[in-house]
Amino acid sequence: MSYKVLIPSAGLGTRLGDFSKNLNKALVALDNKPVISHVIEKFPKHVEIVVALGHKGALLKDYLEMAHSDRKITCVEIENYCGNGSGLGLTILECKEHLQAPFIFCPNDTVILEEVPEPTENWVGYAEVENNHHYRSFKLSENGSVERVCEKEEVLSYDTKPYIGLAGIRDYESFWTAMELGKKYGSIKIGESFALREMIKKKISIQAKKFTWYDTGNLESLTAARELVKSKDAPEILEKANEAIWFVNDRVIKYNSDPRFISDRAYRASLLKGYVPEITNVRENMYSYRMLTGKTMSKATNKKTFKNLLDYLMFFWEPVNLSNQETKDFNEICKIFYKEKTEKRIELYFNRFSEKDCAETINGSDLPTLRELLDRIEWSKLYDGKASRMHGDLHFENILVAETGDFYLLDWRQNFGGITEYGDVYYDLAKLLHGMIVSHELINKNHYEINQMDNVITYDLYRKHCLVENEKQFYEFLHRNNFDIYKVRLLTALIFLNIAPLHHYPYSKMLFYLGKESLYNILGGVNE
């Protein structure tokens, strides 16, 4: 049958908190793929999909064009998507001219397991949930048709089925008539359920269909859905508020809220050709490339594979010859990148989590303030960088091992202190070590702990045996190739301190104290 699909995606998504601050809620990830892609993939490719855009609409449109270029998607821009006069009903009515045919109404936060039936009849979807009162619901007749639409706040003396927001509209003309005539009576705010209620009053049959449903529209249900919907070999990605990486339709799409980040990434991809994937599409806030097959180094590593990786990286880290002036400029950039950025990130950590720098007991050792530790660092050693071709975020989740044994480097850094052509090889070495100490896979499984009682802190984290063995190999490699092990360890401690404010609590706190204790131990472990 010929029909269309409506996915309203104009709203602010405030129930998702910071997740929808920079992105439309349709782009919140479930199993490393935006929820809207889970929705779209439920429908045949020949079916036209109408998407209403509003909050962060340009980003959503760019994503849809990148991820689903093989589909017919009509985007309708909603000007009044928040504030006076706005509402789901207004958004729906703005799409009316594109939906003069039977259609399926599908929220952008509704994920189901079953196939979606065609709108050969009018139907609504329901699921069995624990808290019916959180949702609109239906009273059903004995034959499964809907007798009444019930609001969330109604206290009922009979059983109802919670409405999941999914509906098939065969009698689209009756639906639109109800929405238009109901403008003065609530259709603008209430949305599609207003029309469904009016259709029931007119004795138009609406059947109820049961689905296995994952609600991703609020923080609690999104967290639950993420625990249940997981691919077996999904990469371990630690979420950040201002960036994301998605895997959809044989593509990898990288998003960042900073356009300069994206443009620099795209440029560096051309410089690192042969080592990183070839970018096929670039927009202001995202780029994409074809998905590569293989396993991340975190899942593939063993002694032999790690040795092969280190041999490969020695070719990758091609030295760059600098003039005397370029060397001075590079040393100044290293100063800014290592010392000044560290100072700013530590300040950000204290401000974000309302904490203060003080002397503390960490895992049984008495440590001075972080300020005192930073003042002990011989910073000039770090400023003397070794210019080379550089990746910039070289941990095991960003290294892909193909079945052939070849390596591909993923998610490369956009620049090194503003330089796109090269960077400090010691930063790559430190990033590699930090990823052997902290496993993203184990962090995502919450295999760490952090406790504080006044100024007494204890923390611990699980480590994979293979990574501990790789770390031993790594130190042998550093010694064999005359790298400064002290410098690598020092930068690794600073990396933990730098990334702490960028991650969620309490992982952020564990990173901070891991960095502080590591720095203390590297500097000699003396509380002066």
**CA trace torsion 319, 395, 334, 502 (10° rounding):** 160
State CA 430 to chain mean position distance. Answer: 24
What separation in angstroms does the CA of 522 have from each of 270, 420, 525?
38, 31, 7
Q: Would 251 be classed as within a structural domain? A: no
Lowest-pLDDT range, 59-63, 219-223, 358-362, 468-472?
219-223
Least Cα distance to 44 among 75, 105, 74, 3 occurs for: 3
DSSP helix, strand, coil percent of the chain (3-state; round to 5)? 40, 20, 40
> Of 187, 207, 228, which residue constitutes the final position of a domain?
228
Least Cα distance to 411 among 250, 241, 283, 292 occurs for: 292
Does 240 score more than 80 pLDDT? no
Per-residue model confidence as pLDDT tens digits over 126-150: 998 877 777 889 989 988 899 998 8
Q: Would 264 be classed as within a structural domain? A: no
Please check whether residues 476 and 341 belong to one and the same domain: yes
CA distance 248 to 37: 7
Please check whether residues 379 and 485 belong to one and the same domain: yes
Q: Would 49 be classed as within a structural domain? A: yes
Q: Would 324 be classed as within a structural domain? A: yes
Please check whether residues 432 and 306 belong to one and the same domain: yes
Lowest-pLDDT range, 215-219, 356-360, 489-493?
215-219
Q: Would 292 be classed as within a structural domain? A: no
What is the CATH classification number for the domain harbouring 350? Answer: 3.90.1200
Please check whether residues 207 and 328 belong to one and the same domain: no
Please check whether residues 181 and 303 belong to one and the same domain: no
CA distance 123 to 139: 14
CA distance 92 to 78: 10
Q: How confident is the model at residue 95 (pLDDT cuts 50, 70, 90)?
A: very high
Q: Would 109 be classed as within a structural domain? A: yes
Q: Would 93 be classed as within a structural domain? A: yes
Please check whether residues 165 and 59 belong to one and the same domain: yes
Question: Strand, coil or helix: what is 223?
Answer: helix
What's the domain range around 176? Answer: 4-228
Least Cα distance to 413 among 433, 429, 391 occurs for: 391
User: Given CA atoms 290, 291, 297, 300 in this order, what sign does their dihedral have?
Assistant: negative
Which spans in 155-272 are helix H? 172-181, 187-190, 192-201, 219-228, 259-271
Token duo for residue 300: 């593939």
What separation in angstroms does the CA of 392 have from each of 113, 426, 513?
39, 10, 23
Lowest-pLDDT range, 200-209, 226-235, 242-251, 357-366?
226-235
CA distance 146 to 124: 8
Please check whether residues 210 and 350 belong to one and the same domain: no
H/E stretch holding 350? helix 341-352
Phi–psi pair at 112, nearest 5 degrees? -125, 160
Per-residue model confidence as pLDDT tens digits over 261-276: 999 999 999 999 999 9
Q: What is the mean pLDDT of the chain?
A: 93
Please check whether residues 94 and 220 belong to one and the same domain: yes
DSSP string, 35-85: HHHHHHTTS-TTSEEEEEE-TTHHHHHHHHHHHTTTS-EEEEE-S--SSTT
Per-residue model confidence as pLDDT tens digits over 316-350: 999 999 999 999 999 999 999 999 999 999 999 99
pLDDT at 525 (0 to 100): 67
Does 152 score more than 80 pLDDT? no
> Of 228, 253, 280, which residue constitutes the final position of a domain?
228
Question: Strand, coil or helix: what is 102?
Answer: coil
Task: Give how many domains the chain has, as a whole number.
Answer: 2
CA distance 81 to 377: 53
Does 526 score more than 70 pLDDT? no
| 87 DSSP 8-state letter | -
412 and 443 Cβ atoms separated by less than 8 Å: no
Find all residues with CB under 8 Å of 442, minimum gap 6, and list them.
Answer: 448, 461, 462, 463, 464
Per-residue model confidence as pLDDT tens digits over 424-478: 999 999 999 999 999 988 998 899 999 999 999 999 999 999 999 999 999 999 9
| 119 DSSP 8-state letter | S
C-alpha triplet 110, 112, 114: angle, nearest 5°: 150
315 and 388 Cβ atoms separated by less than 8 Å: no
Q: What value does the mean pLDDT take over residues 146-157?
A: 77
Please check whether residues 181 and 315 belong to one and the same domain: no
Please check whether residues 218 and 362 belong to one and the same domain: no
**CA trace torsion 389, 395, 401, 407 (10° rounding):** 0
What is the CATH classification number for the domain harbouring 12? Answer: 3.90.550.10
State CA 472 to chain mean position distance. Answer: 32
Please check whether residues 325 and 420 belong to one and the same domain: yes
CA distance 217 to 383: 47
Q: How confident is the model at residue 528 (pLDDT cuts 50, 70, 90)?
A: very low
> Of 228, 255, 287, which residue constitutes the final position of a domain?
228
pLDDT at 320 (0 to 100): 98
Please check whether residues 219 and 317 belong to one and the same domain: no
Q: Would 74 be classed as within a structural domain? A: yes
